[in-house]
Amino acid sequence: MKQHDVLIVGGGLAGLVAAHQLAKGGREVLLIEKKSYPFHRVCGEYISNEVRDFLEKEELFPFQYKPSEIRRFRLTSVKGKVAEAPLDMGGFGVSRYLLDRFIYEKSLEKGASFLLNTQVEKVHYDSKNKIFKVDGSDGSMRYAKHLIGAFGKRSKIDKSMNRDFMNKRSPYIGVKYHIKVSHEEDMVALHNFDGGYCGINKIENDLYNLCYLGSREHLRYFGSIPKMETSILYQNPQLKRIFEAGEFVFDKPEVINEINFSPKKPIENHVLMTGDAAGLITPLCGNGMAIAIHTGKLAAEAILQNRSQPDIEYQYLHNWNRFFKTRLWVGRRVQQLFGAKWTSEFSVGLLKRSPYLAQQIIQRTHGDQVV
């Protein structure tokens, strides 16, 4: 039975960047992903510029797709009151459909191996022999010296590992569309509605990403996504205009549920958890993808720079706590200002009256440039 040097479970941005960096560092790496590229995901597709220098340096910035450049922020309350501000760091917009496939191809070029259309059912660490054992949906059994968990917000593996957050139900659903609409190209907007918020920003070509975090209860009550949208989201006149004027590109939206923002452990059963598998920052912060990229890089570095598993875990845990713990905590607190009439009026008022304070809050959920 083949023993791998490094095995990565999950090929979103965290797993892909880890695979790329490890292969570039000369390591044998296999990434197992349950789908195959390219595919759409529920995501706002606004990427914070904190990872831009890193992506450019590693030739992972998708210049050929001409990502949009985003420099301004608009916030609207449930009633449609508007506030705007420049974004200090800003970001760019490109679909995950293109970006993930692009980094997948770059990782292949560097020598990473991929096993696609295969779901990992279970992972186990044999502490006596210091080896990970991984069971695949194809009935296979694989062994690896190092294991990176990059399986996103919620996975079969979380259940098999009995991770704490799996016992908590989440009140949120996520819905995503690509649309054509008349909108400022350099603006990311967040529109509040009862029970959630909806982002819009330009991605590649003449497409806009329209993506929201909504309430599972509302969906259950109204019985369908279109009914919920016209009854709840349309109460914000800004959103009503976008939905009515937009030309929708997908036949039906991408939808996910059980989006859980509870804290998680960045290392569990010796697995280095990266991206959302280590903790999901609330989407309003607009940097879950930047964190996924950064954690993938840090996990790869921990493996490249240390020999023993305890040293690898120590370095990764130290860096994860240093860069992300507080940001995820602030994100959860800021989310409380969204998705309700009074609090959304308050947050729009705050951005209007105290732009300095609002900038400080935004900064606390973002990191410095990753290099």
* x/- track of binding to ligand FAD for residues 230-259 (CB under 6 A): -----------------------------x
Cα(17)–Cα(100) distance, integer angstroms: 10
Sole binder of ligand FAD in the list 6, 7, 11, 191 (CB under 6 A) = 11
Token duo for residue 43: 């995501």
Per CB under 6 A, does 43 bind ligand FAD?
A: yes
Sole binder of ligand FAD in the list 287, 309, 335, 347 (CB under 6 A) = 287
The answer for residues whose C-beta is within 8 angstroms of residue 44's C-beta and 6 or more apart is 176, 199, 201, 209, 211, 283, 286
Interface with ligand FAD by CB under 6 A: which range of 56-64, 149-157, 316-324, 340-348? 149-157
Cα(253)–Cα(363) distance, integer angstroms: 32
When the beta carbons of 199 and 339 are compared against ligand FAD, the nearer one is: 199
Give min distance, CB of 278 to ligand FAD, in A. Answer: 8
Token duo for residue 234: 């349309």
Residue 106: other Cβ atoms inside 10 A:
20
Q: What is the DSSP string of 159-177?
A: HHTT-GGGGS---EEEEEE
Q: Which of 242, 231, 164 is nearest to 198 (CA)?
A: 242
Per CB under 6 A, does 213 bind ligand FAD?
A: yes
Give min distance, CB of 160 to ligand FAD, in A. Answer: 9
Sole binder of ligand FAD in the list 6, 32, 103, 358 (CB under 6 A) = 32
For residue 122, what are the CA distances in angstroms to 109, 135, 137? 29, 5, 9
Token duo for residue 273: 């958890």
Sole binder of ligand FAD in the list 120, 161, 233, 271 (CB under 6 A) = 120
In this structure, the chain runs to a length of 371
| Size of site (CB under 6 A) for ligand FAD | 43
Per CB under 6 A, does 152 bind ligand FAD?
A: yes
Cα(145)–Cα(129) distance, integer angstroms: 10
Sole binder of ligand FAD in the list 7, 30, 45, 232 (CB under 6 A) = 45
Q: Return the residue matching tokens 């990311």.
A: 188
Per CB under 6 A, does 150 bind ligand FAD?
A: yes
Per CB under 6 A, does 288 bind ligand FAD?
A: yes
When the beta carbons of 84 and 258 are compared against ligand FAD, the nearer one is: 258
Q: Which of 118, 96, 114, 117 is nearest to 105 (CA)?
A: 114
Cα(290)–Cα(176) distance, integer angstroms: 19
Per CB under 6 A, does 292 bind ligand FAD?
A: yes
Sole binder of ligand FAD in the list 283, 331, 339, 367 (CB under 6 A) = 283
Cα(49)–Cα(24) distance, integer angstroms: 23
Residues engaged in binding ligand FAD (CB under 6 A): 9-15, 32-35, 41-47, 119-120, 150-153, 155-157, 174, 199, 211, 213, 259, 275-277, 280, 283, 286-290, 292
